[in-house]
Structure 1
Amino acid sequence: MSINWEPPSDWIVIKTIDVHTAGEPVRIITGGFPPLPGKTILDKRRYAQENLDHLRTALIWEPRGHADMYGCIPTEPVTSDGTLGVIFLHNEGYSTMCGHGIIGLATVASDTGLILLEG
């Protein structure tokens, strides 16, 4: 059976990949999230908190997520030697670090070609 349905054109469609690291979940946003202006990761995170928090709750809270769900938004690097930036989110807000999120993001970034590994 096939469902041929397209969301209305004014809806935001956000694409994700769900992974886990030793059972710890992380939802990686791969497309559709609005741009995050700012020169630093903290600027970008502040913008997300103040303007786009409804998207965090839609992605992380039930029914699409759960209390233990973490998420991450890959961004362009904010330093000249960076490969990518990341903003971590969870059910209560935002984090500056998430160990299992880093492992999940690095794996997905490598496997999908978001970043190219040398060597």
Structure 2
Amino acid sequence: MDRDIAGQVRDVWETYQANFSDVESVSAGGFPPDKLDTARRERIPTLLETLSDFVEGNLAPGEFKSEIDGQNKRHRLWGFKGMNGMMFFNMLYNSSGESREQELAELLRTVL
């Protein structure tokens, strides 16, 4: 029986591998895996500019949040979504409230 389960698991895995490029393409905004890295490298200067603006104090936390969220929705290259991505960032931002927004900003600037 264990061998049957192992065979089934192997069959599922092989099916997944055979179709991985289609799954990756959809989750990465339509980029095939071999083009994804190139697209990411092209976006890095824009993201670094936004990050620098925030770290240097030229963007308020709310503006930074909106800018990063917008860039990642328009260019789905990083997987910055779900519980480990933008949702977590939004939870940090929303839970800080107005009274602790600057404290959050200082912490983020230090970490980044």
Q: Kindly name which structure, 1 or 2, has the bigger radius of gyration based on alpha carbons.
A: 2
Q: Which has the higher helix share?
A: 2
